[in-house]
Amino acid sequence: MISELLNYTLHVALISFMLGSLVDVGLRLDIRDAWAALRDREFVVTSVVSGFVVGPILAVAIARVLALPEPYALGLLLLGLSPCAPFLPLLSDMAKGDPAYSAALILIAALGTIILMPIALPFVAPGLHAGAGSIARPLLLLVLTPFAIGIAVRQISKRWADRCDPIIAKLVAFNVVVLLSVAFAQNFEHILSAIGTWAIAAQFIYYGGLAICAYALSYRLPQDRRSVVTVGICTRNVGAALAPLSAVPNVDPRSSTMCILAAFITLLVGIVVAKMLAKLSSSRVLEINPE
């Protein structure tokens, strides 16, 4: 009875988190600013290569080098195909990044995930036993739809979007607490077993490696845009990573555990990276304006 209640609560909190976080992003997204940033070809190419070429390749490489069990490797691969956490604007502000480019990267990441994950996943993870259509459906429902609703509300009335945003943000924060608490309670044994398999360490290595790669690849961009790419690529959209698992019956719970753990780990790494980038940005300003 308790197990069923925890399972039901977990599913409700997970869906609420996925829907709420993306509606929240849409409510904050200024399409005009994002569109202007999308005209920056160097930024777009760097974002796409970092997010959808380097990201999946690095995930596969780390999973093989560390010999992760298949369910954890699948979870890491799903995260590898889901760049840019919904809380990017917050981290971008911490890193002194350009808000317009933060909005653009969210659009690039969301559309790229919805297009590429259904195509790539059946080939790189045949053990998932899911076709492109079954993977695309939950992504459209749980990623694109709430994202589009948030954007639509802001386009109709910026005033209402600004009023709704704090409420949605608080609900998302509450759902994160419930989600992590219930996930730890229900998957405690899986989490303990993950410690002995390098699954948790793999995520820290992965996000750190992504930050280094993204920062190196974006060397031609101004520092404020470079910071956006770096923070966006080293964080993951946990909701998008979990969405395909909802389409597969009897999936190994360790894959979901790997993704749920990312909600905490990617935020922690993102904060550390954002603070480091802020210091780099300040030092660059001092070099330009020594007085």
pLDDT at 124 over 90: no
Q: Which of 41-50, 185-194, 245-254 has the lowest mean pLDDT?
A: 185-194
Phi-psi region of 247 (alpha: psi -120 to 50; beta: other; left: phi over 0): alpha
pLDDT at 255 over 90: no
Q: What percent of the chain is modeled with pLDDT above 90?
A: 33
**Residue 157 CA to chain centroid, in angstroms?**
27
pLDDT at 115 over 80: yes
Report the pLDDT value the prediction gives residue 195, as an integer from 0 to 100. 65
User: Other CB atoms closer than 10 Å to residue 30's CB: what's the count?
Assistant: 16
Residue 64, class by beta-carbon neighbours within 10 Å (0-12 exposed, 13-18 middle, 19+ buried)? exposed
Residue of higher predicted confidence among 170 and 98: 98
Q: At what angle are helices 41-49 and 223-234 packed, to 10 degrees?
A: 20
Instruction: Choose from 5-9, 65-69, 125-129 the range with maximum mean pLDDT.
Output: 65-69
User: Other CB atoms closer than 10 Å to residue 157's CB: what's the count?
Assistant: 11
User: Other CB atoms closer than 10 Å to residue 112's CB: what's the count?
Assistant: 19
Average pLDDT value for residue range 264-280: 92
Looking at domain 2-288, which CATH architecture does it have? Up-down Bundle (1.20)
236 pairs with which residues across the strands?
83
How far apart, in whole angstroms, are the C-alpha atoms of residue 283 and residue 281? 5
Spans of all domains in the chain: 2-288
Residue of higher predicted confidence among 42 and 291: 42
How far apart, in whole angstroms, are the C-alpha atoms of residue 124 and residue 206? 18
Report the pLDDT value the prediction gives residue 65, as an integer from 0 to 100. 94
Residue of higher predicted confidence among 195 and 74: 74
Q: Dihedral through CA 262, CA 264, CA 266, CA 267, nearest 10? A: 160
Helix segments in the chain, DSSP class H: 2-28, 31-38, 41-49, 55-65, 70-80, 88-94, 99-124, 132-139, 145-156, 158-186, 188-195, 199-217, 223-234, 238-242, 253-288
Tell me the pLDDT tens digit for each residue of 194-228: 666 788 899 999 999 999 999 999 999 999 999 99
Which of 53, 154, 143 lies closest to 106, judged by CA? 143
Model confidence, pTM: 0.83
Instruction: Choose from 39-43, 122-126, 238-242 the range with maximum mean pLDDT.
Output: 39-43
Residue of higher predicted confidence among 251 and 156: 156
The model's confidence at residue 101, banded by pLDDT at 50, 70 and 90, is very high
Residue 177, class by beta-carbon neighbours within 10 Å (0-12 exposed, 13-18 middle, 19+ buried)? exposed
Longest dimension (CA), the chain: 68
